[in-house]
A and B are shown apart, each in its own frame.
Chain A
């Protein structure tokens, strides 16, 4: 069977079925992607920061969350899973903050980006990088 990156001539039954499958799959994936983007756009529309949110994060609320991150750093020594503890202690401070803000505080990426003073896409990339790295290390 030829990989999808190579075109086949469509001469045999096998190739015809493969072409049909590829065409159906591609259109299904493209359709799903456009629906996914629409969904994300509506979510993003409702996730923007209001003036109240901004004053909240500029004020005491934001500082108390950063303080809580330090208490999480201390609490890491109590994690019984050796692999997880080693993984968390190996993270950079920025990566650890993003992970805590997302996983523990369950903040949307837009708010994390605001707190960290970074672009939202950078924060997203960093978060998924950490998750992927952890998955890879778990698999060995």
Chain B
């Protein structure tokens, strides 16, 4: 499997497959944060995914 940095670079270049792998690896974190008072909040989860995509594409970590 490709390294994290490579996946991030590919994501910035518009590779949807790389984006999917990254999204899936952070899915548990986003799911865990999407619970409010023990109830899963679908809207919040979707907003988290949007934030994830924005950070993965726009932010530079190297």
A residues with CB within 8 A of B: 1, 3-5, 13-15, 17-18, 20-22, 24-26, 28-30, 32-33, 36-37, 121, 124-125, 128, 131-132
Given contacts A14-B3, A17-B4, A128-B42, is CB(A33)–CB(B33) below 8 Å? Answer: yes
Name the A residues within 8 Å of B52 (CB-CB): 25
- Nearest Cβ in chain A — how far from B31, in angstroms? 11
Secondary structure at the A interface, as helix, strand, loop or mixed, is: helix
- Nearest Cβ in chain B — how far from A116, in angstroms? 17
Report Cα–Cα, A20/B5, bound state, in Å: 11
Contact bitstring B15-55, A, C-beta under 8 A = 1, else 0: 00000010001101110010011011010100110011001
Interchain CB contact (< 8 A) of A29 among B1, B25, B30, B37 = B30
Q: For this complex, into which size category does the number of interface residues on chain B fall?
A: 20 to 34
Interchain CB contact (< 8 A) of A25 among B21, B47, B55 = B55
Report Cα–Cα, A37/B4, bound state, in Å: 32
- Nearest Cβ in chain A — how far from B13, in angstroms? 16
Most B CB atoms within 10 A — which of A4, A21, A36, A124?
Answer: A21
Given contacts A29-B51, A33-B44, A37-B36, is CB(A4)–CB(B8) below 8 Å? Answer: no
Name the A residues within 8 Å of B61 (CB-CB): 17, 20-21, 24
